[in-house]
Structure 1
Amino acid sequence: MKYTNIVEGKFLKRPNRFIAHVIVHGKEEIVHVKNTGRCKELLVPGAKVILEDCSHNPNRKTKYSLIAVWKNHILINMDSQVPNKVVYDALYYNKIEEFENLTLLKREVTFENSRYDIYFEDNNKKGFVEVKGVTLEDCGISMFPDAPTERGTKHVLEMIKAVQQGYIGVIFFLIQMEGPKVFKLNWKMDSKFSNAVKSAWENGVKVLAYDSIVNQNGIEIGKPIKIDFSTP
């Protein structure tokens, strides 16, 4: 995933989940935030952020989109539209070691009452992949979610049904940074989602976590990360 027309800025405030105030080239700008999650530990006053200049689009209300932020020495991509594409591309180019020789890939395919991010087939099997972008990190531990997600819980529980009907089910956590050594479920934030993922894993759903190689101009799949399913 590549970006064009990248500029740096300094974060000031975020009055709502859709916009932020950022200093760009010495001027305060209202910018679009490409992530509706809380991200409170990332978007702190004075944080150095990366923006994409989208002024070429006459239909936009804001000139810039906030796509990444520096947290200490780690650059974290926080574009919520990116994880699906990164994982899809990685599957397409055989960069995920658990998948080989796929014969079909589709985006946004429905099973029962859930629309899953990716549908795939190989010669003998069919399956679904649900992708979750991870931006929360603390002391080398990445976690999801950073806010309660009823919709996410529903998707996970229906993934179990898909596996029971003979599909391969995959929950894929894409950590939108490089550096974390382990991934954990955020039981404190959403115990229902966390319990659903653990139950899915115990019932045959594959749960994967990969980090990402992130720079100012883009993001691509990194390496598999250890998953800790333990409860608090």
Structure 2
Amino acid sequence: MKFDTPLIHGYLIKRYKRFLSDIKLDDGSIVVAHCTNSGSMKTCIEEGAEVYLSPAKDPKRKTRYTWEMIKLNNKWVGINTSHPNLIAFEAVKNGEIDKLAGYSHVQREVRVGNSRIDIMAQNDRETCFIEVKNVTMKDGEYARFPDAVTTRGKKHLDELIQLKKEGIRAVMLYVIQRSDVSVFAPAGDIDPDYANTLREAWKEGVEIIPVRVKVTPNDIVIDKELPFDLSL
């Protein structure tokens, strides 16, 4: 995924009210940027750290900028939660994830029952439903999800379990927007219900694919698939 307009460099002053952040730009001016991440953003906040913003395309939007990434330990961490679905869609469509390659038709936001699944991929042999989650929390070498209780996330796992029981390929795809981790694990200490449901999904045959991406001010690209540990 490439950024279609040049990003704007600055420094984080603070994040507040979940969806707002004060940013000091290189020219010394202070602007308010929208933060798309509604979670706790554990391990993603460091006041004074370098950040990049994108300018809002809608001239009527109250916040003129969107906070895209922050530099932590000399590496960029993507915090825009609207990107992983597009990253995943492009990657599946272009065959960039080995376990999800070979599909001739890839579609976003497909209704299944009373819900929408992020991606449906099809070829002449099978249909695959893929749910996508954004991961930014770091715990040592682990990338962990979620960083706050997510009843919606548990609901999505339940839907994948049901699809698998109906004989349809079901995949939980975690897009990890930081390169300083090497293993994925659920955050059972934060949301035990989600962690337990993920273990149940794995036992029922739902596939778990954690993918690390490389975040830069120019683009966000697939780096590699990571192993996972469901024991935490």
Q: Same fold (TM over 0.5)?
A: yes
**Which amino acid is the alignment partner of residue 140 of structure 1?**
E
Match of 1:48 in 2: 50
Contact 1:50–1:68 under 8 Å retained in 2? yes
Quote how far apart the aligned CAs of 1:35 are. Answer: 1.7
Contact 2:93–2:105 under 8 Å retained in 1? no
Match of 1:33 in 2: 35
Match of 1:184 in 2: 185
Match of 2:64 in 1: 63
Matched, 1:201 2:194: no
Between the aligned partners of 1:15 and 1:173, the Cα distance in structure 2 is 26
Match of 1:2 in 2: 2
**Which amino acid is the alignment partner of residue 225 of structure 1?**
L
Between the aligned partners of 1:211 and 1:12, the Cα distance in structure 2 is 28
Secondary structure at the aligned position of 1:39 is classed as: coil
Between the aligned partners of 2:42 and 2:231, the Cα distance in structure 1 is 25
Contact 1:156–1:197 under 8 Å retained in 2? yes
Matched, 1:228 2:229: yes
TM (norm. structure 2) is: 0.95
What percent identity do the matched residue pairs reach? 31
Contact 1:210–1:223 under 8 Å retained in 2? yes
Between the aligned partners of 1:116 and 1:93, the Cα distance in structure 2 is 19
RMSD: 1.3
Quote how far apart the aligned CAs of 1:99 are. Answer: 2.4
Between the aligned partners of 1:141 and 1:74, the Cα distance in structure 2 is 16
Between the aligned partners of 1:177 and 1:5, the Cα distance in structure 2 is 21
Quote how far apart the aligned CAs of 1:173 are. Answer: 0.5
Between the aligned partners of 1:146 and 1:223, the Cα distance in structure 2 is 22
Quote how far apart the aligned CAs of 1:100 are. Answer: 3.1
Quote how far apart the aligned CAs of 1:141 are. Answer: 1.2
Q: Moved runs in structure 1, 4+ residues, more than 2 A?
A: none
**Which amino acid is the alignment partner of residue 22 of structure 1?**
I
Residues 158-177 of structure 1 show CA distances to partners (whole Å, capped at 9, x for unaligned) of 11110111110000011012
Identify which range, 76-85 or 9-18, moves more after superposition.
9-18
Between the aligned partners of 1:92 and 1:136, the Cα distance in structure 2 is 27
TM (norm. structure 1) is: 0.95
**Which amino acid is the alignment partner of residue 2 of structure 2?**
K
Match of 2:173 in 1: 172
